[in-house]
């Protein structure tokens, strides 16, 4: 497929990732005259198409958020275009480099809290904050720039609040404890997921029950300020999460 031009607009250059529903390519947007990331998927993947349609309704212009800017459909394929982030995502970074230092985790938290504040002030809840959904911009030796992506299951406060009994939306391990009791999505649940994300960056070997246990018991790092913020973000009391988010700004 390299060299193929889809819908007269997106020229596929090099495949950079593959998932169950499609592939992600380094591409050239001929309309804009610039490179982009293009996810190509079959229209037969109806669930992914629905996520895409939903995400098209979420538009943010913010340095730490990334939403699609364009799309095209031809024959049985759909292409979704976003700005190109050359550093991969936090999940692959953990696999490649291991544990992140406490100062780096603190910087990532500040950036993502800035982005989430914008999301929440706009009335949205992301509902799937996790390392794989945070992309990195390559900055060489400088402080990395991160952007929260994948708003396919985000929900807005003005949408009807219809909860199907027993159904919890999100990724296992990153779901706030109150959601298992049938609570509606609220911004402080994103803050809990962000706390789990930070703990995993500090301890990438932790998965499943071991990660959940560490999130309950604390002892995340030796940096007192970061430890206090993480304790707050992972609190069962949503008010403590909001207070911790406010406290993290000057870290």
Note the helical H segments in 8-164.
46-55, 90-97, 102-121
Candidate list 96, 114, 128, 209, residue with the active-site label: 128
**Cβ burial, residue 209 (10 Å; 0-12/13-18/19+):** exposed
Structure tokens at 87: 């550093």
Which residues have C-beta within 8 Å of that of residue 173, sequence separation ≥ 6? 196, 207, 208, 211, 212
* Contact (CB, 8 A) for 144 and 136: yes
Task: Describe the strand order of the beta sheet including 70-74 as a list of residue ranges.
Answer: 5-6, 10-18, 22-29, 34-42, 77-82, 70-74
Active-site annotation holds for 128: yes
Which residues have C-beta within 8 Å of that of residue 227, sequence separation ≥ 6? 218, 219, 220, 221
Q: Give the catalytic positions in this structure.
A: 128
């Amino acid at each position: 497929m390299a060299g193929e031009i889809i819908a007269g607009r997106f020229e596929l250059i090099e495949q950079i990732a593959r998932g169950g529903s499609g592939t992600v390519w380094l591409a050239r947007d001929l309309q804009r005259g610039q490179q982009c990331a293009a996810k190509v998927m079959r229209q037969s993947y109806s669930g992914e198409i629905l996520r895409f349609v939903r995400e098209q309704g979420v538009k943010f212009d913010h340095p730490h958020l990334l939403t699609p800017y364009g799309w095209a459909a031809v024959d049985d394929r759909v292409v979704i275009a976003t700005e190109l982030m050359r550093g991969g995502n936090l999940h692959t970074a953990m696999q490649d480099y291991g544990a992140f230092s406490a100062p780096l985790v603190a910087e990532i938290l500040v950036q993502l809290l800035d982005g989430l504040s914008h999301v929440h002030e706009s009335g949205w809840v992301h509902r799937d904050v996790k390392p794989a959904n945070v992309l990195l911009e390559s900055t060489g030796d400088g402080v990395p720039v991160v952007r929260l992506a994948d708003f396919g299951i985000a929900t807005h406060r003005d949408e009807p609040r219809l909860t199907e009994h027993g159904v919890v939306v999100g990724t296992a391990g990153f779901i706030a404890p109150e959601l298992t009791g049938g609570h509606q999505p609220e911004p402080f649940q994103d803050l809990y997921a962000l706390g789990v994300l930070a703990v995993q960056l500090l301890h990438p070997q932790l998965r499943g029950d071991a990660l959940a246990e560490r999130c309950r018991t604390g002892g995340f790092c030796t940096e007192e300020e970061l430890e206090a913020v993480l304790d707050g973000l992972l609190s069962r009391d949503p008010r403590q999460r909001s207070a911790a988010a406010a406290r993290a700004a000057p870290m």
